[in-house]
Structure 1
Amino acid sequence: MVPEGAYSDTHVTEIMRPVAKGSAASTSRTATMASRPQGASRARRRSPGSSITQVSCRSLRRGVVEDLDAIVNIERTCFGASAWKEEDLAAQFGHSFARVWVWEADECKHGVSGAVGFMLSWQTEDQIQLMRLGVEPGWARRGIGTELLKHLVSREERRSTITLEVRQSNESARAFYEKFGFDTLALRSGYYNDGEDAIVMQYEIRGSPL
């Protein structure tokens, strides 16, 4: 899922699918992290969110189980056939390694209330895996995705990197992450269910300008 209004024909960037710890897919991912696609170049480091219109108010908070309906709606709207199942999203609230953040609309200012964007990440000892990031299409291009990413970076000073996966064909999403400061790290062949390749991208937290 992606900030700024959905990059791809369904307005999202697809990040990662749930994978059981120790599974063959998980092992394959680890093995490919060290390689960089031939011809890939590191993106020039930029200040996160530069040249992107920002939202006028801050309505970011930690997600709670009561946000599940809104999160499921965003997930389905953004990801379509690739959306996670409701039970998979619900399970994230019970995982100690999972973090859910939502962007809540201000009813007084916008006439609506509830989560209009959300972000899910998994934490390890020194790394963050960005699993899902989505914004309702009607709230696109207001800087909500950028603010969510900025928040993730600012809270994770003890960790060194953020990694994610995005469809190779999703050029708009890849451009967004490059603008934020992510670099292309590797290619995972046939990663998605339909056989499309995934691009692994990484953001180095330490020393990153905010």
Structure 2
Amino acid sequence: MAIVITQQPAFLPLLPIDDSIIVTDSYQSYLERANSLDLSLLKSKDIESAKKLLRETLAVGYSTTFLNQFIYNKDSFCFCVRDTIRNAVIGVIGGKISRSVMDSTVCTGHLMILAVSTTWRRFGLGQQLLNKLEGAFCDGSVTASFNRRTQLRSIYLQTEIANTNAIRFYENNGFSYEKLERGYYGSGKDGVVMRKHVC
């Protein structure tokens, strides 16, 4: 799936090409570079690049085993944006669907990871990744693997309470504050649970 740059950022950061860095002087440079981006399911060959991106952008490191669950578990999904010129993952989102213990006709989506390279932020890549994961969660053929009558009712996530940009992004996409989780990201690093009702 081709990536569409949906918005022009207020500034143009440094744009890495191979192992060098160039300064871009126009939005057109980014548009030309966007032709090299591809949004699709994460594959085994992308794991190391995705781990590198996650280490660089998130407060928590993720193992190969953690990322493999998205590839091999039929109720888990992981999409990534690849820069085909650099052969690097520059955006990744992953989550899974689980059935309610209280009501077997209800399932919930858990957005577990979302990261976009700092170079490519504010171009709408995070939005496209979120839309792709929500679409996979809401696809009837996915929830049918649980039960024909199963319906996705909500999607939830955790993010660090200090990450105000992420919280604002999720609020703009229909997520609401649900609860605080003290120490979720380690000593003194509280998390917030946010939820979006979809049905």
Give the TM-score taking structure 1 as reference length: 0.63
| 1:99 is the counterpart of 2:105 | no
What displacement does 1:68 show?
Answer: 0.6
5 Å-filtered alignment, 1:5-154, equals 59-80=38-59, 82-107=60-85, 112-125=86-99, 126-154=107-135
Contact kept, 8 Å, 2:40 with 2:81, in 1: the verdict is: yes
- Classify 1:76/1:153 alpha carbon distance in 2 versus 1 (closer, same or farther; 3 Å): same
**2:29 paired residue number:** none
Deviation at 1:114, TM superposition (A): 3.7
4+ runs deviating over 4 angstroms: 55-58
Q: Which residue matches 1:171?
A: 164
Secondary structure in structure 1 of the residue aligned to 2:152? coil
State the number of aligned residues.
149
Identity among equivalent pairs (%): 22
Aligned-residue offset at 1:66: 0.9
- Structure 1, unmatched stretches of 5+, are 5-54
Map of 1:162 onto structure 2: 155
User: Aligned residue for 1:35?
Assistant: none
Cα distance between partner residues in 2 of 1:87 and 1:156: 22
Structure with bigger strand share is 2
Task: Tell me the TM-score normalised to structure 2 length.
Answer: 0.66
CA deviation map 1:151-179 (0-9, x unaligned)? 12223334121100111111121111111
Residues 38-72 of structure 1: CA distance to partner in whole angstroms, max 9, x if unpaired?
xxxxxxxxxxxxxxxxx966732111111111111
Summarize deviations over 1:55-93 as a string: whole Å, max 9, x none: 96673211111111111111111125x212334323443
Give the residue type in structure 2 aligned to 1:73: K
SS in 1 for 2:111: strand
Q: Which runs of 5+ in 2 are unaligned?
A: 1-6, 8-32, 100-106, 139-150
Provide the C-alpha distance between the structure 2 equivalents of 1:104 and 1:123, rounded to a whole number of angstroms: 24
2:77·2:95 contact (CA, 8 Å) conserved in 1? yes
The higher radius of gyration belongs to 2
